[in-house]
Amino acid sequence: MSQRPSASRTLSSVTPPARPAQSPPRARPASRYAVPAAHRGSVLGDAEAAALSGLVTSSAPLSSGERRLEFERRFARHTGARHALSVTSGTVALELAVHLLDLAEGDEVVATPQTFQASVQPLLSSPATVRFCDIDPVSLNMDPARLEELITDRTRAVVLVHYGGWPADMDRVMALTRPRGITVIEDCAHALGSRYRDRVPGSLADIGCFSFHASKNITTLGEGGMITVGRDDWAERVDRLRSNEADGQYRSAEAAGAPGLLPWMMYSSSAYAKECTSVLRHGTNATLSEAACAVGTVQLDRMDALVARRRAVAARLDEVLARFPQCRVPRPGPGVEHAYHLYTFFVSAGPEVREKLVRGLDERGVQIALRYFPMHLLPEWRARGHRAGECPVAERLWFEEHVNLPCHPGLSDEQVDHLVWALDDALASVVAA
Tell which residue, 64, 304, 320, 80, has the closest CA to residue 205: 80
Position 277, amino acid:
T
Count other C-beta atoms under 10 Å from residue 300's C-beta. 18
Rounded to whole angstroms, the Cα distance separating 226 from 91 reads: 10
Rounded to whole angstroms, the Cα distance separating 428 from 192 reads: 34
Q: In the Cβ-directed half-sphere of 4, how many Cα atoms lie within 13 Å?
A: 17
Cβ partners under 8 Å of residue 134, min gap 6: 113, 143, 146, 390, 391, 392, 393, 394
Tell which residue, 225, 196, 416, has the closest CA to residue 309: 416
Query: Do 386 and 337 meet the contact criterion of CB atoms below 8 Å apart?
Result: no
356 is annotated as an active-site residue: no
Rounded to whole angstroms, the Cα distance separating 9 from 149 reads: 50
**For 156, phi and psi rounded to 5 degrees?**
-105, -25
- Looking at the DSSP bridge assignments, the partners of residue 123 are none
- Looking at the DSSP bridge assignments, the partners of residue 196 are 199, 336
Tell me which of 216, 354, 364, 386 is the catalytic residue. Answer: 216
Count other C-beta atoms under 10 Å from residue 6's C-beta. 10
Q: Which residues are catalytic?
A: 216
